[in-house]
Structure 1
Amino acid sequence: MSEARETSGATTGLLLGYVRQQGGDDAVTEVLRRADVPHSTAELESLALWTSYDTRIRLFTAATEVLGDPRTMFHVGREALGLGLGPSLVLLIRAMGSPRQVYRQLPRAVAKFSTTSTMRVLESGATSATLSYRLHEGYRHSRLDCEYAQGLIGAVPTVFGLPPAEVVHTECESDGHPVCLYHLSWERRRRFGGRRRGEGESRELLALREQLRILQSAAADLVASDDVGTVLQRIVEKAAEAVLAPGWVLAVADPAGGPALVHSAGLPAAEVEALAATLLAGADPGPNVVAVDVASARRVHGRLAAVYRPGDGGFGHEHGMLGAYAGHAAAALDLLMALETSRQEADRAGTLLTLAHELAEATEADDVCAVVAAALPRVVGCDSAAVMLWDPAAGCLRTAAHVDPDESHQRLMYETPLHAEDVPELVGMLTDREPRFLRPESSSPVLQQLLTALELTDVVAVPLVAGRTFLGVATASWPAGRAPEVLAGDVLHRLRGVGDQAATALQRARLLETVRHQATHDALTGLPNRVLFLDRLGEALTTTPAEQHVGVLFCDLDRFKSVNDSLGHAAGDELLRQVSARLRAAIRPGDMVGRLSGDEFAVLLPALARPEDADRVVARVLGCFDEPFRLEGTAVAVGTSVGVAVHAGGQGGADTLLRASDADMYRHKKRTPSPPRLASSPQHPEGGHES
């Protein structure tokens, strides 16, 4: 849990400065040890840090003990100017013109040091005043805190080159009184000349120099930042050094086009959200808020606000100081945005170059889709992306690749085909080949349901077209509040560029797929040819477990030559196609039929528990030829001879096993029709039997 923001860093900084002045760094270290506070020396000396009332009193107590002086806290307040009181406070006091005016405004200035007390002016004259100081309910009064207040308010005239005010403390809350009463008197300020007037002006000059140094330091520090989050955090921290206030809100537009970026300090979340909305709307945030635009010559980034307690508020010069500081912040944001844009463009250029190389190497359509989907978030700046391929046979889009940090979204995309009859947007894209900008509230029911389930509010979809062929769709998507304000410009341009590369790569992959298919499949039947059959057979021999077996059936058609001679080669081709279809229908799932040459077919049985299990497949293959084939309007009876070889483990290649099944087929042709023998490969003759 974060510490309450009740005590300004101006107070803790003054305290540690006095301890160091009196006892050195060792004394400071001892004070922090005794007080047991969760902050470093540097943090406690920062004007941006606000600590709790409890931390303040523990530090006051520890300092008094370490220095051994019961009047320590009075001296800390009295010597505030010499200890480096914040330049903004010195200028604030000087701007009021006289001690009398300062004391009249002192209740408002107290809010710059503490949020736990209220001060009132009971009487005010040219050289005297009576003030009351009351600790809020829920806090235990400390006499040390009272002595610090006496020293601090008595030091006001010294800002004008006058001696400190005399403070008479007649009533104290620590003694049971309802409030602390302070009676002050001071010398009248000289109107002309005099050493003391010069001292006051010297202090004002030093304060101006210090405030200028803070501004310059802030500008250099902000420019040195390399990301938006760091810059925004430093803006708030540096603003708190420039103008003391218990609360801060910074609200700026997201350079990436997302929702507004809000940083705050000292305020509850609900209050921050409401105030940020007010600031970004340009509305009046109220009398207790000092707000300035964070604006450069190029653009208005947002607004920065110092927030005080209700009833309190800033002083006139602070608005100008914040405005000067906000100008530095805006310049830093301009520079950061320019650098970020350059980095993004360089990153996108690198991504596009990598994409081009990866697409050149991708030879499968699925690989192309995966490469494109992975590149889209970096090129387009989207949160998720997908590539969907068109299935003309089914009339639908199917997800081939999807990138999304939520795995459930990925599963949903892969499991949800989009059918043209259900998605008018898809029909429109098929017709005009133009991109679509999709939102749930304006989409057709199917898309609306899908986008809602995916938690997407904005989607850009571009068609993937090669020539006149519609290949699919590439999409870039964003959840609520993440999409750029304009999708039809640069976003669409980049998405289309990637889509064009994807379409070219997909067309090439399909061409390669066609070439590979033609090289490994029989053009007439579409079955694997001898090359592919032997490759799959070799793979099965390598991967089948030792306790299982690999079988091969070799089939040779009977009377095929007579069909060609009597009915013609067209009928012979039709017979081969019908035989192919019947064989594919007869085998088990996982088996494979290939056409080796002419009228020779082979069946791969990759997983047999026992060699004898091949007999059942043989029976189904022979059954394929029980019914005659219809060729040229004529019923033609065609038989087959089947040879069987089963590999029972150990060494042996695909060619060997295929030759064994071929040899068994020739033995079968010489026998009268009967169930074929099981023959093992030549290396393992013990695996076969005759029937």
Structure 2
Amino acid sequence: MRETAGVTLRAILRYVRARGGDGAVRLVLQLAGETEPAEAYDDPRRWWSYQTKINVFDAAAKVLGDDGIGLHVGQSILSYSVNHPLRLGLLLLGGPSQLLRVISATGAKFNNAADMTTLSSARDQATVEYRLRPGYRPSQYDCDYTRGLLTQLPALFGRPAATVEHEQCQVRGAEACIYTVRWRQRRWFRRNRAAARVDDASGDMLAGRIELLQRTVAELVAAEQPERALAIVADRAGYAVNAEAFLLVASPAPDAPRQVHGYGLSPAEIEVLSAAPPTSFAGTLVVDIASPNRYYGYLVAFCRDFFDAERRMLDAFANLAAVTLDALSALESAAERRRIAESLLDLARRLTTARTADEVAGVTAEAVRSVMAADSATVLLHTDGHLRVAANAGGGDERQRKARRLAISRADTDLFERFQAGTGEARVYDRDSADPYIAGLLESFGHQTMVVVDIALPEHPYGILVAAYDTPRDAAQARKIAGRMVGVADQAATVLRTCELLETNWRLAHVDALTGLSNRRAFLAALESALQTGEGAVLFIDLDGFKAINDSLGHAAGDELLAAVAGRLGGCVRAGDVVARLGGDEFVVLTHGALGASGVPELAERIESAFTAPISVLDGTHVRARASVGGTRFTAGEESRVVLHRADIAMYEAKRGALAVVT
């Protein structure tokens, strides 16, 4: 559950380890009921439930004998949990006041079980509200942990810890926790490099670099050309790390010439260093300018020595350069990217609510038409040995009518064979296609070009996705943009598989595998619902002498008899009534409403009459079944166990005779 960020669990257990060792950590996890290995709780990317956090806090308090552990962990968070990239990002906000203005967004990075809001803020104090969301039980550990975190806001910026007053508390019955945070104002200053080698966590040393990075961010935001952005980074980065010599080598785009910026180096040295990135060694820092999307180049700084903070600062500038280049590159096709992003986001959102194959097909067709800027988009799913149209978007009335009649078989085209192979590759066809069936389809529907992508997972082919165009398209360009379709098809295949699994799981949980009727669980749920809404009736049906059938003819005959009984019972009831097999040879019928309640005798008579004719099992052996039927009416508000007990008694009172076997 995504309620508590992994940084919190990591902070708790690192605090425990620092005071009690690995043995204390193992004991805490054991007392908290946690079964995963200790290293699993050291992953800051992982999320946990709110209750897990509270359980671990409680166990840690017992193991360490420290009832104030929530406060102590919060006060030590900078040492145990907040990694340097996040600290740098928070530092860029400028100070405690600025951070408190966005405390809601910041708090969401750590806790999805509560909302944190700054009610008021001044230069040296603020009032913060911490409110658990409905469904979560307040805990003193959580309140203390939040108070400890708030004390560290000024410390993040190199200032003394804040004092925090906790006037109102949810544990004591308040609607929300209210904290008053006060801190001392402090003027930032720059240290001379030669003054001393101080700990890289020193806010004084880092502050000047952060100020420079802030100014660089402002300038990069205003930069309109990648070349200008790289020049800004080259000018600022070397200064930020106090390099004696510096070099930036990067290509803004794959087909763009390299940009080379540097100082403190001779032309010959620049030529050598720009030919290939050097290796980091003493006095040399080398970092890549790279984003998740692509590699742009590298930064090289030379000096006799570097502080650890300066190494991180150079990484920050390299990352900043990469992000800026990504952004500027994206601006070249902003309108198209925005449209595609909106379509894909809408697809993802709508697919989460799709529950049937037809719903998935409809959503997917609409998304593909938008993403591919196609004249029409079609989803064909594999049904009964054919590819049939499940959804069409943008086809028009005439094309819709043709699409509904379309059924592609294995004999029609090799498209069917390729679909079942599930290569995952996009295929482009036009009216000159060597496949006469596809060429005929294009002509019949008035299209010039179509792009086809398989909707398939390994061992699970579902169908094909088609984007069609009324005007000719360059095949190479069509294949280039077809990658967008592949992603949509993959999402559709995943959701179709989920629908299958949900259907399978639902059937396993609610349907009797032998008869196809509702099972005991599904019937009890339906009865509980009926008892909440109105009156009705329950009829209990038992096959007389069923055991004799199993003993004389075998279980296979017994199974066939039960399946046949299910069919006959289904023919006796109204639409909306529930027929279920409770187990063995016991069946039950649930009818709704006043008509169902008043019609118990008639329904019981219909059920008994349904077994007048013999039932054929195995190789033609006939058995004449007799059903004992007992029923009872119910009204809203009764207990289900009471209703079932009355129906059971009525059935036993009705029991007469036995099952006869006729050959």
Larger radius of gyration: 1
The answer, yes or no, to whether TM exceeds 0.5 is no
TM-score by length of 1: 0.40
Q: Which fold has the larger relative contact order, with Cα–Cα distance below 8 Å and residues 6 or more apart in sequence?
A: 1
TM-score by length of 2: 0.41
